[in-house]
Amino acid sequence: MDSFLIGLIGSGIGPSLSPPLHEREAAHHGLHYVYRLLDTDRVGGDVGELIRTARRFGYDGLNVTHPCKQDVIPHLDELSPDARMLGAVNTVVFDGDRAIGHNTDWTGFAESFARGLPDAPARRIVQLGAGGAGAAVAHALLTMGADRITVIDSDPARARTLTGELTARFGAGRARPAPAAELPRLMERADGLVHATPTGMARHPGMPLPAALLHPGLWVADIVYRPLETELLRHARAAGCRTLDGGGMVVFQAVHAFRLFTGREPDDERMLAHLTDLITV
C-alpha cells in the first residue's frame, strides 16, 4: 500500500476540513494517507523552519493557507509557472531534495465560479483582499473574461502591487486599486463582489463591509468555507443577491493538490460529496 504524509501550514487552522477531505478520497484509492495540521499559532510562525522540518521528517507535501502563501516562497527551491506568476503558493510538493511550490487556488476558484455562478455578469467586479488568495481569485476572474476588477485592501500598497501585476498580465484598464472610502460608490455600479480576506472565518467573525451596500443586482462570492454560510452570505441572500460560498473553491483546489501529491486522479464529485458530509457532521 502506497503511503503519504501531508501537512497544512497556516494560522488558526484547527477547524480546517482539509485533513478528512484528503484522507477520505485517499481511502477510495487504497492509500495510507496521513494529513496533519501545522498551525503556526501552536508550533511557531517560522515558515522556513516548518518547511525544513517537514522535509526532514519525510513529508511528501504540504498545503499552505493564510497568512503564509507569500511568505513561504523564499524557502522553496522551485515554483511552478502559476505560482511564479501569482506570487503565491498553496501547495508544496517534496521531490527528492527539492521543495516545489504550486498554486491550485486560482483553478479551484475558477471551477467553483463556473459551476456556482454560471452566466454571472462580470463587467465591474469589486474585490476585497489582495493577499495570496486575492491574487489567485482576481487572476481567475480576469482569465474567465471579467472586464474590470477594482481591488480594495487594508494595506493600500498591497492592492497597488496586485493590480499592477494584473494590468501587466491582462492589459490596461482591467484592474485598479481603490481606497476603502470609494467602496459605497463602487458597490452601487458593481455586478459582483468577491470577498478574499479572513473576515468571516471561525477565528475572524464579522462582516467585511456594511450590509447596507448589498443590493439585488449583485452577486457575492466568498472564499471562506468555515463556516460555509458566512455572515456576508447571509446578508447577501437577504438582500436578494446570488451567492457563491467557499466550499467549491476548497474542494477543487484540493482535487488539484491531491493529484500533485499522489499522482492519482481524484473524483471531484466524490470530494464535493465528502465536503457536504463533513459540513453537516
Residue 230 annotated in active site:
no
Helix or strand (DSSP H, E) at 221: strand 219-222
Helix or strand (DSSP H, E) at 272: helix 268-280
Cell numbers linked to 67:
497568512
Nearest of 219, 209, 213 to residue 240 by alpha carbon: 219
Alpha carbon of residue 59 to chain centroid: 22
Dihedral in degrees, nearest 10, Cα atoms 49, 52, 53, 58: 160
* DSSP for residue 155: S
Considering the candidates 24, 66, 69, 274, report the single residue annotated as catalytic.
69
Peptide bond into 216 cis (omega under 30): no
Peptide bond into 67 cis (omega under 30): yes
Do 6 and 63 touch, CB atoms closer than 8 A? yes
Cell numbers linked to 189:
455600479
Do 55 and 99 touch, CB atoms closer than 8 A? yes
Please identify every residue annotated as catalytic: 69
